[in-house]
Amino acid sequence: MDLFNVTNESILPFALPQEEDYSVKWDERLDGFKINLPHGELFYAEHFFNQEISDRCMAYFLENNANNWQTTNWKNLTEDEFNAIDFKNIKWKRESINLYGKNVLLPRMTSWYGDPGKSYSYSGINSNPNEWNKGLIAIKKRIEEVALVKFNSVLMNWYRDGVDYLNWHADDEKTLGVNPIISSVNFGSMRDFILRNNDTSLKISIPLNHGALLIMGGELQHHWQHCVPKRKQVKGMRINLTFRAINN
């Protein structure tokens, strides 16, 4: 079975600013676009994982002992009901952050996997890695072939519907080093991934659909922020994996 869904499409499906410092080139060998931005680089493959593989990934991530992952209204479950579910492959949890002296639940579910000792801290949350499983290793190896980086960890975000979201931020923690390469792969419903330049507030909206891969490199994390905004019209789920190399 081929992993890649090869197409002849070489038109970027989103708009870049028509300015001198922005350029895009189709890479026929990788079936994706190499994009240059001011202080940053992107690689975008709209169909990096084909439909069959992507469908299997969603089922793998949400396989459990109690609920039909496709038909369950996950937001209707109480915290106790959710915690009682035995997810077979991914250890999902809902973190909280301290905001103005109050604990506020994150608007998504998360899970952190990685090599032993590769803990990760963000927004006051310290995550110790779960042990890699075969499915995540298989996905990681495929992405490493394109990114040319050995990743040692992955943050998983499960957006249960279009109301779940991710605020503006940059992956610029010290443990990621200078100019980190971050590889983001998307499964499930299409969500907009928006980049914002720190200096000009210029924004680029990138559609990340089922099986899409986006690799961020160069100085991007130091000069740009990104977010996944609410999209109330989106009813389906999205699971995103961002692979990274922790230096601690």
Backbone angles phi, psi at 230, to 5 degrees: -60, 140
- Residue 240 belongs to some domain of the structure: yes
In a domain, 49, yes or no: no
How confident is the model at residue 122, as a pLDDT? 67
Q: Read off the pLDDT of each residue in 19-44 and give the average, rounded to a whole number.
A: 96
Q: Report yes or no on 33 lying in a domain.
A: no
Average pLDDT over residues 150-154: 97
Instruction: Tell me how far apart the alpha carbons of residues 116 and 85 are, in angstroms, rounded to a whole number.
Output: 26
CA–CA gap between residue 106 and residue 228 (Å, rounded): 13
Please tell me whether residue 171 adopts helix, strand or coil conformation.
Answer: coil
In total, how many domains does the chain have?
1
**Residue 52 forms part of a structural domain:** no
Residue in 206, 197, 209 with CA at minimum distance from that of residue 239:
209
Q: Which residue has the higher pLDDT, 210 or 127?
A: 210
Q: Is there a contact between 130 and 112 (Cβ–Cβ < 8 Å)?
A: yes
pLDDT of residue 123: 64
Q: Taking all residues of the chain, what is their mean pLDDT, rounded to a whole number? A: 92
Q: Residue 148 sits in a domain of what CATH number?
A: 2.60.120.590
Kind of pairing between the strands at 191-197 and 153-159: unpaired
Is 50 exceeded by the pLDDT of residue 3? no
CA 190 to chain centre: 12
pLDDT score of 172: 93
Is residue 42 domain-resident?
no
Query: What confidence category does residue 133 fall into, taking pLDDT thresholds of 50, 70 and 90?
Result: very high
Q: Model confidence over 176-217: pLDDT tens digits?
A: 999 999 999 999 999 999 999 999 889 999 999 999 999 999
Q: Which of 215, 243, 184 is nearest to 37 (CA)?
A: 215
Structural domain includes residue 21: no
135 belongs to a structural domain:
yes
Termini Cα distance of the chain? 37
Q: What percent of the chain has pLDDT over 70?
A: 94
Is the confidence at residue 4, as pLDDT, over 70? no
Range of the domain at 239: 108-185+199-244
**Residue 144 domain-assigned (yes or no):** yes
